[in-house]
Chain A
Amino acid sequence: MRGIKNLPLYLALTVGGMIFAYPFVWMFFATFKPEMEITGIGLWSADMSIDNYRLVMTKIPIARALLNSLFVSICVTASVLFWGSIVGYALARLKFLGRELILAVILFTMVIPFQITLIPMYILMVKFGWVDTYLSLIVPGMINSFGILLFRQFFRDVPQDLIDAARLDGCNEFQILFRIMWPLSKPVLITVGILAFMGSWNDVLWPLLVIRLETLMTMPQIVTLFAIGGQAEAQIGVQLAAATLLAAPIIILYSFFQKYFIESMASSGLKN
């Protein structure tokens, strides 16, 4: 009985699901079609080939861009976890002069729209001589205020006994953080890690400003410039192939760790 009553609901949810999923499936199949058949709404074509991918590879150094993106995003993520946990630990568990002030400053700076700092940050990169180096992509993202706050919140709930016991054993604060706290902190490490990685991986505006050398470009950046520039020669197939290559790593990761992705991104809603 219930099944029948819920039928319209399932139907609606399925139609919704199609609306979100079909364009991706369509794009994937379109990349294998010859240019003339791409406009069809169906998926199959008689002469499927990987020509579009071959063409993308010859036109832009997309493999290099993938490595650049991986390198930058991994450095940023590792650094956000490392420094964020250190500062978060100090704010959560140590008493020192200026702690409340630092906390207030972090909360306050999170309200500032990035539009204010964008241009001055670019000029700073020029003055440091970091334009067209990995440094400009990595260093400004090395610390993340929201990450610090998430670490602080998590560390505050760890029982004091654990810390006291470790101190009696002669651990210093860094040892406590990395040997006692880190193994306990998997959930927050995953959340902060995913947010930092996604933020860095998907960013386009900043790389567009500070990287002009094709060999140093990140993957979203090079695909953007490929799609709007003349290199694709208005061929839809190659543009979609480039877009598919850009989407693939994240979609593969997502299909294994959906739950973590969804929970982490949703926790960014706790911001205020």
Chain B
Amino acid sequence: MKSIMSRMKGEGFTGGLMSLPYIVYFSFFIAFPIGFSFILIFHKWNIITPMEWVGLRNFIRLFSDAQFFKAILNTLTFLVIHIPLQIIVALLLAVGLNQKIRFRGFFRSLYFMPVIVSGVVITIMWRQLYGYETGLLNMMLLQFGLDKIPWINHPTYAMPSIAIMATWKNVGLYVVLFLVGLQNIPGFLYEAANIDGAGPVQKFWYITLPALNNTMVLVMILSTIGGFSLFIEPFVMTGGGPMNSTLSAMLYIYNQAFYFGHMGYSATLGFFFACIVLLVILIQKKVVERD
């Protein structure tokens, strides 16, 4: 009896000891930064001179900061193109790969390749593909007798072009997720539909799509989180231009903090932006999820 008691005590001690690394990590790198951001948002600070209390002035400035809202709008534009495009392309490729075919693994690996490569590589590469005078895509258009497109040189085209590139980069991951989802749909559902005389389109619409609901929510949330962190692509591709049309919210926050040194204000922007991210994800979950 006593030995069990002491062992239980020992287990409690060891358990506490073993979770200590997380507690230390949590205190320094999660709790402190969050706590500190609550202080920062009420201050003006450039790290070098002492902090200056400004009350709600950071927020007042934020709400009259047209460029920040332009950056949020740009990010939303990116998401509105990127997410549907990604879901459609991923779903098509996944359905194709889910047929009885050979080389499935090979195709899957090909589609997945851009996922593992750094976004910097992808962006440098696509900057060349998108070039106006000498870019590969425009050369191809000319060969087909079509007009050149100012992919990244015109405010209307630039953000959609970046969204297409991001889709190309990430879609392989979502193909794999959809493939897992497709393989989890029990075969008897399709057999029953065959007996009822359903065609392929009906089967896709009434069986496949509803069964993929969980995957759909997942894909949406993952690509929303990814889309809101859009930074390196415009940073390398366009530097936010032309005419701020690809200035993403993260790029704007980065510039405020590290180009202008406005620490308090950029912390406020980060805080406000994070709230928008959470809000959008909550709304998505509510709208798309069915149980």
Contacts and interface: CB of A to CB of B under 8 A. Distances in A.
Contacts of A12: 96
Contacts of A220: 118, 120
- Residue from B112, B113, B136 whose CB has the most chain A CB atoms within 10 Å: B113
Contacts, number: 253
A220 B235 CA distance: 13
B151 interface: no
Interface stretch (A51-59, A60-68, A99-107, A184-192): A99-107
B112 A86 contact: no
Interface in B203-257: 218, 221-222, 225, 228-229, 231-232, 235-236, 239, 250, 253-254, 257
B278 A111 contact: yes
A117 B37 contact: yes
B96 A243 contact: no
A16 B107 contact: yes
B125 interface: yes
B interface, by DSSP: helix, strand, loop or mixed?
helix
Contact of A91 (B19, B34, B126, B172): B19
A153 interface: no
Contact of B107 (A13, A96, A117, A198): A13
A162 interface: no
- Residue from B30, B222, B228, B235 whose CB has the most chain A CB atoms within 10 Å: B30
A124 B33 contact: yes
Interface residues of A, number: 90
Contacts of B73: none
B28 A205 contact: no
Interface of B: 8, 11-16, 18-19, 21-23, 25-26, 28-30, 32-34, 36-37, 40, 47, 93, 96-97, 99-101, 105, 107-121, 123-129, 131, 134-136, 139-140, 168, 172-173, 176-177, 180, 218, 221-222, 225, 228-229, 231-232, 235-236, 239, 250, 253-254, 257-258, 263, 266-267, 270-271, 273-274, 277-278
